[in-house]
Amino acid sequence: MRESWKFRIYLAAFGVSLEEIETHGDALLIGRISERIERSARIDKAVVLAMDGVMGPGGKIDREATQVFVPNELVARETAKYDNLLFGASVNPYRPDAIERLEWAHENGAVLVKWLPNIMHMDPGDESIVPFYKRMAELGMPLLSHTGAERSFESAQDELGDPDRLRLPLETGVTVIAAHIAATGRTDGAGNFDRLVAMFASYPNLYADVSSLTQINRLGYLRRALGIPGLAERLVYGSDWPLQFFPLVSPWYHIRHVGIGRARSIGKIDNAWDRDVALKEALGLPRSVLQRSATLLPPKASSR
């Protein structure tokens, strides 16, 4: 990822430079997130996500295939320093010690497990990881898993973002949050969004987050989701931080629905989180969606 042209853009979105990272280390990024949350009028806390790598032969990380790796230890240690940050763990279930790592994450305050199967090269529908799912269910750890195509990285195995592959953890009793409501890509001739929506009636433990749904490559999906009867009760707020910058996101892309005056006022909001909330509310997002994570995540998320 460091060699990608996107790398410095992402750093700029965090409000840091490569030189600062090389001097102060990755912990600086987490501190900057806390600072911006502190200045937010709308967001009280944020879950900072770790990201596990691709597993190679022998159960070790394949560093050539891994595009991003954010260790659980780093995120757990640094988020513990801030009252407005929570630890989101990431454990590749193909690790030989995956369950032990899951238990460590739980003991160290993790409020969920994050996967991006498309770049982690792991299949959520693989029967061999059922023991991992069973332990997740026992611990009450929700799974936040990317759904749909993935375009933020240099390459992706997008068949692994098919929401239908999440039936296995759902049937094993895990609470699943389908990130981005599968708003990109197609599988077997059908849109991933439609494939996911069809699953809600069968699984009361299935939710979806609204992160990225104001981005230019997902225009219209938030209003489309809110127009489906009952679906708002299964939605969770998410920001897709740091991907909230122009030209990826702008209230002017939604002028047809929010109007010129509201687009202008939203664009003047300085804090990126407040701007994100304001735009999604202008598109019809109910307050209940903003509050749902407080009850959906483990009690430690609301007590810290």
Cβ atoms of 117 and 160 closer than 8 Å: yes
Domains and CATH numbers, the chain: 6-303 (3.20.20)
Q: What is the pTM of this model?
A: 0.94
- Nearest CA to 176 out of 212, 216, 136, 122 is that of 136
Lowest mean pLDDT among 34-38, 52-56, 201-205, 247-251: 247-251
Q: What amino acid occupies position 172?
A: T
Residues 244-296 pLDDT 10s: 776 889 999 999 999 999 999 999 999 999 999 999 999 999 999 999 999 99
Residues 5-31 pLDDT 10s: 567 777 877 778 888 888 888 899 999
Question: Where are the alpha helices (H) located in the chain, listed in sequence order?
Answer: 6-14, 18-24, 27-38, 72-79, 98-107, 117-120, 130-139, 167-171, 192-197, 221-226, 255-267, 272-282, 287-291, 293-296, 300-303
Assigned token pair, 273: 């989180």
